[in-house]
Structure 1
Amino acid sequence: MKRLFQSLAAWPLPLLHAVGAVLGWLAFLASPTYRRRFLANAAQAGYAWREVRSAVAEAGKLLGEVPRLWFGYTPPVRWEGEERILAARALGRGVVCLTPHLGCFEVTAQAFGARFGHITVLYRPARKAWLRELVDTARNRPNLSAAPATLPGVRQMLKALRAGEAIGLLPDQVPPHGLGVWAPFFGSPAYTMTLAGRLAQQTGAPLLLFWGERLPRGQGYCIHVRDWVGEQPVDPAAAARQLNENMEALVRECPGQYLWGYARYKQPREAGAA
């Protein structure tokens, strides 16, 4: 599998996106479960089919671009709002970068590391043994480290913040049982991580919101940087509600690139479950 990914990494990004778009539609048409979840999640957020139709192909592009992002060189990237990063870094307390399943979230960390300095990203280790070695090593690049979603991984992120570095998380990913609380996401209860708020409170690191817009015809990406809106409540339930409100605001910027097929409202698995 690793050799296949390394071979595909040499393909031009427009071709990878074209193949990925086809795969996205095949998955949508072939899987009733995925299709129902996609449509239900979009409807829950108040979107009609015509407003999210493009997200079917975009989900496939997400898969198609992975070999290039893991094993090739970073595609062209431009920034919108980078002055927010410079201001946050100037505080010297590290930066907590939050990126939902919107657009290309893989490229945000790569581009951040290449431009602004070291960043450590949290990832969930693959549950399939044949994927584990690939996923565990593919994201590591100069100025980019991957920390597993385990206690040692959390300590690694805390250490990075205390050293004044940045960390990155996917805050709309369902955490294991006991590591989150239930909070509304587009009006429906979703199990929501509390880690981002805890890390920010322990270190005083500012929170910033990111999403990587996938540009048409494989031209690359535009990374949008947004300020966190609101205070940072100490109460976990209030903090989770505020986190989801900030994520909703990002998704509404471009619902056609959100991963609506993700099982956002599922029950959390037990911590350490295989």
Structure 2
Amino acid sequence: MLSFFRLLSVLPIGLLHFVGAGMGWVTFGLSPTYRRRFVDNAKQAGFSFAQVRKAVGHAGRMVFEMPRIWLGRSLPRCTIEGVDCIESAFAQKKGILFLTPHIGCFELSVQVAAQRWSAQYGAITVLYRPARQAWLAQILETARNRGGVQAVPTTLAGVRQMIKALRKGSAVGLLPDQVPPQGLGIWSPFFGRDAYTMTLAARLALQTGAAIIVARCERMSWGRGYRLYVEELATPLSPTLEAAVQEINAAMERTIRQCPEQYLWGYGRYKQPRVDPQMSPSVEDVQK
């Protein structure tokens, strides 16, 4: 499998997207559970299937572009829109909390930001969960610690490293629409339905005063590359945790509505949280 990934990593991004789009539709057709969740999640957000049908192909594109993003000798072409808000935050030495939902090529967004700013402001710190398969764990360890990106494990030690990075004025990246383990989130509205939502993003921002930058990395058509959109959260977070978590969810909703055809509607956003022995609820003590 590792050899297959290395083969994919040298193929043109346009070809990977073409094959991936086809496989996305194959998966959609063969999996009733995935198809039902995709349609139900989109409907919950107020979209008909016709409005988001392109997201079926984009889910496949995401899978097939990963080897290119992780193992490619260079990153695909990506332009950045809204750099002023990032430059301003770094200039104020506030530290930056990059937040992006499961939209577009979220794996590329941190790589591009690191390529642009890490030499001057330090590595961007991201959380990762080690893969169970040895070959995939090897790939992820290489991919997520390259080019100014520092990956830390989903443990208390990893959270401490994120806090340290923000307090010294560096950047941290999170996917706040990812369902956290039991005890590390609260139930908060997401497109009008309660979803178990991480408190980590809100706690990091409230405890460190970091600037919150919302990002989405959209794929351009015909393999022409990507466009990374970044903007600072319009208003400061509320001081109470529950309200701050809800405001972050609302910010993710706005971002998704700007490009619903590239969101992973098949993701189990409303699932019950799992129990994770590596991160107990006491992680919140570190963030206080």
Q: TM-score, normalised by structure 1?
A: 0.96
2:97 maps to: 96
**Hey, what's the Cα distance between the residues in 2 that align with 1:129 and 1:10?**
22
2:180 maps to: 175
1:105 maps to: 106
Bigger shift: residues 4-13 or 119-128: 119-128
**Hey, what's the Cα distance between the residues in 1 that align with 2:4 and 2:133?**
17
Q: Which runs of 5+ in 2 are unaligned?
A: 280-288
Bigger shift: residues 228-237 or 159-168: 228-237
Structure 1 position 10 matched with structure 2 position 15:
no
Contact 1:178–1:271 (8 Å) recurs in 2: no
Kindly state the Cα deviation for residue 42 of structure 1 after the two structures are TM-superposed: 0.2
**Aligned CA distance change for structure 1 residues 231 and 93 (closer, same or farther; 3 Å):** closer
Fraction of identical pairs, as percent: 52
Corresponding letter in the other structure for 2:97: V
For residue 190 of structure 1, give the secondary structure of its aligned residue in structure 2: strand
What aligned pairs does 1:22-171 form with structure 2 within 5 A after superposition? 22-72=22-72, 73-117=74-118, 118-128=123-133, 130-171=135-176
Contact 1:101–1:259 (8 Å) recurs in 2: yes
**Aligned CA distance change for structure 1 residues 3 and 156 (closer, same or farther; 3 Å):** farther
> What do residues 174-194 of structure 1 show as CA deviations (whole Å, max 9, x unaligned)?
011111100000001101111
Structure 1 position 20 matched with structure 2 position 25:
no
Kindly state the Cα deviation for residue 273 of structure 1 after the two structures are TM-superposed: 7.2
**Hey, what's the Cα distance between the residues in 2 that align with 1:129 and 1:88?**
39
**Hey, what's the Cα distance between the residues in 2 that align with 1:186 and 1:236?**
19
Kindly state the Cα deviation for residue 128 of structure 1 after the two structures are TM-superposed: 4.4
Kindly state the Cα deviation for residue 93 of structure 1 after the two structures are TM-superposed: 2.2
Kindly state the Cα deviation for residue 263 of structure 1 after the two structures are TM-superposed: 0.1
Kindly state the Cα deviation for residue 49 of structure 1 after the two structures are TM-superposed: 1.1
> What do residues 90-121 of structure 1 show as CA deviations (whole Å, max 9, x unaligned)?
11121000011011101100000111112111
Kindly state the Cα deviation for residue 262 of structure 1 after the two structures are TM-superposed: 0.2
Q: TM-score, normalised by structure 2?
A: 0.92
**Hey, what's the Cα distance between the residues in 2 that align with 1:128 and 1:98?**
28
For residue 207 of structure 2, give the secondary structure of its aligned residue in structure 1: helix
> What do residues 119-165 of structure 1 show as CA deviations (whole Å, max 9, x unaligned)?
11122332445533332332211211112222111111112112211
- CA-based RMSD of the aligned residues comes to 1.5
Corresponding letter in the other structure for 1:252: R
**Hey, what's the Cα distance between the residues in 1 that align with 2:134 and 2:70?**
19
Contact 1:140–1:146 (8 Å) recurs in 2: yes
1:190 maps to: 195
Count of matched residue positions in the alignment of Structure 1 and Structure 2: 274
Structure 1 position 241 matched with structure 2 position 246:
yes
Kindly state the Cα deviation for residue 2 of structure 1 after the two structures are TM-superposed: 2.4
**Hey, what's the Cα distance between the residues in 2 that align with 1:192 and 1:136?**
26
Contact 1:182–1:237 (8 Å) recurs in 2: no
**Hey, what's the Cα distance between the residues in 2 that align with 1:261 and 1:188?**
16
**Hey, what's the Cα distance between the residues in 1 that align with 2:65 and 2:193?**
31
2:284 maps to: none
For residue 166 of structure 2, give the secondary structure of its aligned residue in structure 1: helix
**Hey, what's the Cα distance between the residues in 2 that align with 1:45 and 1:146?**
32
